[in-house]
Amino acid sequence: MTTHREPLSSVLETVGETPLVRVHASPDEAPVYAKLESFNPGASIKDRIGKYMLERMLEDGTLPEGGTVIEPTAGNTGIGIAVAAGQLDVEAVFVVPERFSLEKQQLMRALGATVVNTPTEDGMGGAIDRAHELAEEVDDAVVPQQFSNPLNTEAHYETTGPEIYDALDGEVGAIVAGCGTAGTLMGIARYALEQDSETYVAAVEPAGSLYSTVLGEDAEEDPYKTEGIGTHDPTTNELFDPELVDEVIQIPDENAHAEVQRLAGEEGHLVASSAAAASLAARDVAERIRDGEIDAPHDSVATIFPDSSERYLSKGIYGDFESWEG
Ligand code: PMP
């Protein structure tokens, strides 16, 4: 049922309050609910941190009015920051290694941002260094740096977490979410553990990523195609707090790719590979709760579908696994 909604005054008011939808919905399946973050105006979960970080930095004066944010980012965070910057009278500059998706760079420019490319061979490290150099040269410039900024986590503690608990009337047994910067999972987990310290928390990463080593597990580093989650160097993921996490679940690319197809074909979800990995991990946790292998305060598992597959069509997300570029 849709309730009547008043007209809103700007696109920024449409960030958050995304739908929570039951997935794997046949009645005999353990209950999994996914938050559909492609409903945000920039079509990903990163709109939440774009809005939250900029508003907070403007409030406390870290970012002067009419100032500039400079972020090294190749993806959804740039779009999320650009949406907010455009409405808050802030200049946005993104430093992007050349090889990254042209579609995302086009969207950032369309939203009024400036995109500065750095050589592919310098990697994300080169983009980070260039962002800091530019911040020295430009007046009133700030580098939010989502990988280490506590406002990233706080955005989810203040919005995503409470929205999940509200929708499920507080009956949440486990939180399962992919970790890129880990801001999403850490913010929701902090909120969840305050509601009930027995809530089970699982991080999701592609097989080949190294978050699990932070929990003391052996893991082989390998390239992976699943986009937006995982890390090759956990020392750079400063927001990830192993104290809040019970388990890291690794999902092989092949499984995530197959789940992308299943979610579209069977359940009508046009989501990308990080959502598919989260879907598989969440179902696994829900089944283990149902079978008594995990102790959790409730049966329901909440997870996040961070963005839409439309952003990855040119990479062959709906083609066969071998030709999928990730
Ligand atoms: N999925 C996608 C598609 C993303 O772009 C990101 C952000 N890198 C994530 C998942 C993970 O979110 P977080 O950075 O909050 O861990």
Stretch 268-284: mean pLDDT: 97
pLDDT band at 74 (very low <50, low <70, confident <90, very high): confident
Options 35, 46, 51, 104, the catalytic residue: 46
| CATH, domain range 11-39+150-323 | 3.40.50.1100
Ligand 1 geometric centre to CA of 292 (Å): 30
User: Which of 36, 100, 176, 181 has the most ligand 1 atoms within 8 A of CB, as the residue to mutate?
Assistant: 181
Give the pLDDT score at 101. 78
Pick left, alpha or beta for residue 193 (phi over 0 → left; psi -120 to 50 → alpha; otherwise beta): alpha
Mean pLDDT score of the chain: 95
| pLDDT surpasses 80 at 144 | yes
Ligand 1 geometric centre to CA of 45 (Å): 7
Give the pLDDT score at 75. 86
Closest CA to 276 of 307, 311, 246: 307
pTM to 2 decimal places: 0.96
Give the pLDDT score at 97. 86
Pairing assessment for the beta strands 68-72 and 141-142 based on DSSP bridges: parallel
Stretch 281-293: mean pLDDT: 96
Q: How far apart are CA 228 and CA 134, in angstroms?
A: 25
Ligand 1 geometric centre to CA of 204 (Å): 11
Residue 168's alpha-carbon distances to 28, 68, 149, in angstroms, are 19, 39, 29
46 is catalytic: yes
Give the pLDDT score at 3. 65
Options 274, 300, 308, 309, the catalytic residue: 274
Ligand 1 geometric centre to CA of 184 (Å): 8
pLDDT band at 2 (very low <50, low <70, confident <90, very high): low
Percent of the chain with pLDDT over 70: 98
Percent of the chain with pLDDT over 90: 87
Question: Do 46-142 and 11-39+150-323 have the same topology in CATH?
Answer: yes
209 is catalytic: no
Pairing assessment for the beta strands 20-23 and 32-36 based on DSSP bridges: antiparallel
Stretch 144-166: mean pLDDT: 97
| pLDDT surpasses 80 at 28 | no
Residue nearest to atom 5 of ligand 1 (CA): 228
pLDDT band at 1 (very low <50, low <70, confident <90, very high): low
For 34-52, how does the pLDDT look when each residue is reduced to its tens digit (9 = 90+)?
999 999 999 999 999 999 9
Q: Please tell me the class of the 46-142 domain.
A: alpha beta
In the chain, what are the domain boundaries?
11-39+150-323, 46-142
pLDDT band at 67 (very low <50, low <70, confident <90, very high): very high
Residue 277's alpha-carbon distances to 40, 141, 272, 280, in angstroms, are 20, 36, 9, 5
Find the helix or strand (DSSP H, E) in which 23 lies: strand 20-23
For 190-230, how does the pLDDT look when each residue is reduced to its tens digit (9 = 90+)?
999 999 999 999 999 999 999 999 999 999 999 999 999 99
Pocket of ligand 1 (CB under 6 A): 75-76, 178-184, 227-229, 272, 274, 306-307
Find the helix or strand (DSSP H, E) in which 48 lies: helix 46-59
CA quadruple 10, 12, 13, 18: dihedral, nearest 10: 140
Ligand 1 geometric centre to CA of 139 (Å): 30
pLDDT band at 326 (very low <50, low <70, confident <90, very high): confident
pLDDT band at 27 (very low <50, low <70, confident <90, very high): low
Give the pLDDT score at 151. 98
Residue nearest to atom 2 of ligand 1 (CA): 228
pLDDT band at 26 (very low <50, low <70, confident <90, very high): low
